[in-house]
Amino acid sequence: MRLAKRLIVTLCLGVAVTAFGQGQYVRVPMHLKSAKTFYVTGRVAGSRANDFMVDTGSSYTTINEHTLVELRTQGDTRYVRDLIAVLANGQEIVVPIYWVSSFEVGGVCTLQNIEVAVFPSRTRQILGLNTLSKASPFQFSVNPPELKLSNCQTAGPGQAQLADRPS
């Protein structure tokens, strides 16, 4: 009888862990811009919302100097180190890396403790793999254009569009 109870408890725990581990994705719509690039709305540590190009070929999420100035006034960032960045055209430049407390993707997925590379002037901002990896597993879909992200802190019930994770 004791063995049967242990077996039932073990099976129940196994089912609960499996169901919890599968969880759900948060859907973040993307919008298409010129040159067949996809963008999402992003907000770095409470700054103004901006468009971020989704780039799975970029190691780091990047912000521009104007966003950094805004973040510095809020005191929610700190310098970490310099990094030599290799651009798509092969050019190498030195960029500062900053820690930011959070990155909100699409208004529905907040990720904590992100490092961002800061590029000069008003350059395009990029949602890169270091941030996307915090939301892994994730899916990038072209049709419909959306990201499906995991491990998000959501703003509240009913604000996130949830989708079942495929088995």
Whether 102 has a pLDDT exceeding 60, the answer reads yes
DSSP states along 121-144 = TTPPPEE-HHHHGGG-S-EEETTT
pLDDT digits (tens, 9 = 90+) for 9-64: 333 333 333 233 445 889 999 999 877 899 999 999 978 999 999 999 999 999 99
Cβ distance 134 to 115 under 8 Å?
Answer: no
What domains are defined for the chain? 24-164 (2.40.70.10)
Q: Which residues contact 138 (CB under 8 A, 6 or more apart)?
A: 25, 132, 147, 148, 149, 150
Which of 63-67, 75-79, 141-145 bottoms out in mean pLDDT, i.e. has the lowest? Answer: 75-79
Whether 104 has a pLDDT exceeding 80, the answer reads yes
Q: Per the structure block, which two tokens stand in for 31?
A: 């919008």
Whether 86 has a pLDDT exceeding 50, the answer reads yes
Whether 67 has a pLDDT exceeding 60, the answer reads yes
Query: How far apart are the C-alpha atoms of 151 and 145, rounded to whole Å?
Result: 20
Q: Per the structure block, which two tokens stand in for 121?
A: 């002037």
Which of 63-67, 69-73, 109-113 bottoms out in mean pLDDT, i.e. has the lowest? Answer: 69-73
